[in-house]
A and B are shown apart, each in its own frame.
Chain A
Amino acid sequence: EVQLVESGGGSVPPGGSLRLSCGASGFTFSRSWMTWVRQAPGRGLELVSIINQDGSDTYYVDSVRGRFTISRDNAKSSLYMQMNSLRDEDTAVYYCAKDSWGPDYWGQGTLVTVSS
């Protein structure tokens, strides 16, 4: 059974930093693209970032490029998102997802709240 478990969310003031983690099991992590998708309160879904199998190819939505960094550790079957210079509009539930031409398995999400 595929399992994705996010951690690292919390409350942080504007300009602060957080590091999200996602532990994966039940599939061959090293062979899978992985993605972070977020959902602001009461809003729709937005793909934030995606990374290929060995970490050599990444993509970021314009609003986070230069502030967020996606990475992975295949030996630990883990996905990460370093989030710096956080803004109010980054407040959202962040989902880790395995990707196969679209997210096919999702974690339960971790809430990031940016507020003074």
Chain B
Amino acid sequence: DVVMTQSPLSLPVTLGQPASISCRSSQSLVHSDGNTYLNWFQQRPGQSPRRLIYKISNRGSGVPDRFSGSGSGTDFTLKISRVEAEDVGVYYCMQATHWPRAFGQGTKVEIK
């Protein structure tokens, strides 16, 4: 099974400053159809998760452009260009290339 490893697990950030979360998979996430099905989710306190990013770098509907995704193969990154108060929460990467699908452990973003 594919294992997704996020770092850091806790990320204190200053408002207005950038933030970056890493996600690594135990094997390549390139699908036989040529796509890489790597997603990023945000879960604000007390809320359901919502998808921010799909296929590495595509923003979901209504997602602010301060969120960006990058990477390839086994190494991926979620970046927030300027952290806002509403960005506090837990962020998860998830691979949908291989069965079983797998989430990372989550990275808790909090304001310093």
Contacts and interface: CB of A to CB of B under 8 A. Distances in A.
A61 B100 contact: yes
B39 interface: yes
B76 interface: no
A44 B37 contact: no
Interface string B56-87: 00001000000000000000000000000000
Contacts of B49: 37, 45, 95, 103, 106
Size band of the interface chain B makes with A? 20 to 34
Contacts, number: 53
Contacts of A61: 100
A105 B39 CA distance: 13
**Interface majority SS (helix, strand, loop, mixed), chain B:** loop
Contact of B60 (A44, A50, A104): A104
B41 A47 contact: no
Size band of the interface chain A makes with B? 20 to 34
A106 B102 CA distance: 17
A89 interface: no
Interface stretch (B10-18, B19-27, B91-99): B91-99
Contacts of B99: 59
B103 A103 contact: no
A102 B100 contact: no
Contact of B54 (A47, A59, A101): A101
A104 B54 contact: yes
A59 B51 CA distance: 21
B82 to A, nearest CB: 25
14 contacts: A44-B103, A44-B106, A45-B43, A45-B49, A61-B100, A95-B49, A101-B39, A102-B94, A102-B101, A103-B39, A104-B51, A104-B54, A107-B48, A108-B48
